[in-house]
Structure 1
Amino acid sequence: MATEQKKSIRNLLQDKNIRYVFVAYFVTFMGTAMAPIAMAFGVLELTGSTKDSAIVIAAPVIASIAVLLLGGVIADRSSRQKVIISADSAALLIQLAMAYLFLSEQATVPLLTGLMLLNGIAIAFNAPAASGFIIQLVDKEDLQSINALLGTARNLALILGAALGGVLVSVVGAGWTIFLDALSFGVSALLVYLVKPKQQIKSESESILLDLKLGWGEFIAHKWVWVIVVQFAFVVAANEAIIGLIGPAVALDQLKGAEDWGLVVSAIGVGTLIGGLIGFRLNVRYPMRFATFCVLVPGLLPIALAFPLPLYGLMLIAVLEGIGWQLFGVLWMTTLQTKIKPHLLSRVCAYDYIGSVCLAPIGIILAGIFYESMGFRWVLLAAALVIILPTVFALFVKEVWFMQLDEPVID
Structure 2
Amino acid sequence: MSAEKELARALWLNEADTRAVMAALGDGARFVGGAVRNELLGETVGDIDIATAETPERASALLAAKGIKVVPTGIDHGTITAVMPTRHFEITTLRVDVATDGRRADVAFTGDWVEDAKRRDFTINALYADADGTVHDPLGTGREDIKARRVRFIGDASARIAEDYLRVLRFFRIHAWYGAGEPDAEGLKACADAREGLRQLSGERVRDELLKIAGADNAGAAFRQMAAAGILSIVLPEASRLDRFEKLVDIEANQLFKSDPLLRLASTLDLDAGGVAALASRLKLSNRDRDRIEAMLTDKTKIVAYLSIKEVRKALYIIGVQTFKDRVMLGWAEDRKGHNTFQWRAMLAMADSWVRPDFPLTGEMIKQSGVPEGPEIGRVRREVEEWWIDADFTDDEFSIIERLKAVVQATVY
User: One fold, TM greater than 0.5?
Assistant: no
TM-score, normalisation: structure 1: 0.21
Comparing both structures, which one devotes a greater share of its residues to helix? 1
Comparing both structures, which one devotes a greater share of its residues to strand? 2
TM-score, normalisation: structure 2: 0.21
The one of the two structures with greater contact order (alpha-carbon pairs below 8 A, sep at least 6) is 1
